[in-house]
Structure 1
Amino acid sequence: MKQVTVTVIDPVGLHARPATVAVNAASKFKSDVNVAFKGREVNMKSIMGVMSLGIPTQSEITISATGDDEEAAIEAIEEVLRAQKIIA
């Protein structure tokens, strides 16, 4: 398993548009990709799952991947979310 802990800096948190960006990035990989916030963990490939966490701005989240392409998945997801200024 590969994981990274990051801070959400998008002004609206990880809702609607930023959540869609995250889900689209995660869905490109075979690995199981999850996001954890305040003790809850959901499948990052599920828009409803990600939005159900209600992640506000300035929150720390942990993104984890398990599978054949776990390292590439974490790197790509982190890169996309940083480029869109969703995480710091």
Structure 2
Amino acid sequence: MSQEFTFTVSDPEGMHARPAGLLVAKAQEYQSSIIVTRDGKPVDAKRIFGVMGLGVKQGDEVTVKVQGNDEVKAAAEFEQFLKENL
């Protein structure tokens, strides 16, 4: 089983270096794999170059899929993190 949700980026600067770094650090707190997908391109949320490579801008929609031992907790906390930081 996995957890999945969609998030629309509201930060005027999109997912630039600072929030991308924070996102990666947050993803690394969990055992579960966290995959962020934009326009059909999936990347590992624990890899800074993958996250930055998505080129997420304000208004873009990303899908987050969380799978693993702590997926319920990870998905809830990761979604809250996105709402507070992006």
TM-score scaled by length of structure 2: 0.93
Q: What amino acid sits opposite 1:49 in the alignment?
A: G
Q: Deviations over 1:32-70 (max 9, x none)?
A: 111000010000001110000111110000011110111
Distance in 1, matches of 2:20 and 2:73, equals 20
- Counterpart in the other structure of 1:25: 26
Alignment of 1:1-88 (within 5 A): 1-84=2-85, 86=86
The offset of 1:22, in angstroms, is 1.1
Moved over 4 A (4+): none
TM-score scaled by length of structure 1: 0.91
Kept in 2, the 8 Å contact 1:35–1:41? The answer is yes
Kept in 2, the 8 Å contact 1:21–1:81? The answer is no
Structure 2: segments with no counterpart, 5+ residues: none
Alignment length, in residue pairs? 85
Task: State the secondary structure of the residue aligned to 2:83.
Answer: helix
Structure 1: segments with no counterpart, 5+ residues: none
The offset of 1:25, in angstroms, is 1.1
Please tell me the root mean square deviation across aligned C-alpha atoms, in Å. Answer: 0.8
